[in-house]
Amino acid sequence: MEAGSPLRASLRVALLQVGLSAVALTGFEIALFLDAGSGPVAALVAYSLTGAGFVAAGMVAWWRRPSGRIGALLSLCGTAVLASAAGNVADPVLAVVGTVLAQLPIGVLLHLLLAFPSGRLPDRRSRLLAVAGYVVTLALPIPAYMFGPLPGVPPVLVVADRPDLVSLFARIATVAGFVVVPLCALVLLQRLRAADRPQRRVLAAVSAYGIFTILFLTGSAIVARLTGIDPLTQFVVQMVVLAGVPVAFLGGLLRGGFARTAEIEELGAWLGATEGGRPELRDAVAATLGDPSLELLFWLPREHRWADADGVSALLPDPGGPRAAVEVATATGTVGAIVHDAVLLPDAELVRAAGRVVALAMERDRLTAELLAGRAALRRSRARIVESGDRERRRLARDLHDGLQARLVVLALRAGRLAAGTAPPLAEQAEAVRADAEAAIAELRGLVHGIMPDLLVQRGLPAAAQELADRLPLPSTLSLPGDDRRWPATVETAGWFTLAEGVANAVKHSGARKLWLTVGHTDDVLTVEVRDDGAGGAHLDGGGLRGIADRVEAVGGRLHLDSTPGGGTRLRAELPCVS
pLDDT, greater one: 270 or 255:
255
Each residue's pLDDT tens digit, 361-412 = 777 777 766 666 656 565 565 555 545 554 565 566 566 556 666 666 666 6
Q: Please say whether the beta carbons of 296 and 309 come within 8 A.
A: yes
How far apart are alpha carbons 115 and 187 in whole angstroms?
11
Is pLDDT of 128 > 90? yes
- For residue 570, give the nearest of 491, 517, 522 by alpha carbon: 517
Each residue's pLDDT tens digit, 47-97 = 889 989 999 998 988 887 766 678 888 999 999 988 888 877 777 788 788
The predicted model gives 464-488 an average pLDDT of: 85
Burial class (CB in 10 A: 0-12, 13-18, 19+), 33: buried
The predicted model gives 453-480 an average pLDDT of: 84
Chain-wide mean pLDDT for the chain?
A: 77
For 481, residues 6+ apart whose C-beta sits below 8 A from its C-beta are 462, 519, 520, 521
For 415, residues 6+ apart whose C-beta sits below 8 A from its C-beta are 433
Q: What is the pLDDT of residue 2?
A: 46
Is pLDDT of 262 > 70? no
Is pLDDT of 276 > 50? no
Q: What is the pLDDT of residue 530?
A: 92
How far apart are alpha carbons 403 and 216 in whole angstroms?
105
- For residue 62, give the nearest of 50, 47, 77 by alpha carbon: 77
Is pLDDT of 274 > 50? no
Q: What is the pLDDT of residue 413?
A: 66
Sign, Cα dihedral of 447, 450, 455, 457:
negative
For 492: left if phi > 0, alpha if psi spans -120 to 50, otherwise beta; the answer is alpha
Each residue's pLDDT tens digit, 203-234 = 788 888 888 888 887 776 666 666 667 777 87
User: Amino acid identity of 548?
Assistant: I
Q: Long-range CB contacts (< 8 A, 24+ apart) of 385-394?
A: 385/550, 385/551, 385/554, 388/547, 388/550
Each residue's pLDDT tens digit, 366-379 = 776 666 665 656 55
How far apart are alpha carbons 79 and 21 in whole angstroms?
10
Burial class (CB in 10 A: 0-12, 13-18, 19+), 533: middle
Alpha helices in 400-460 (DSSP H): 405-420, 426-451, 454-459
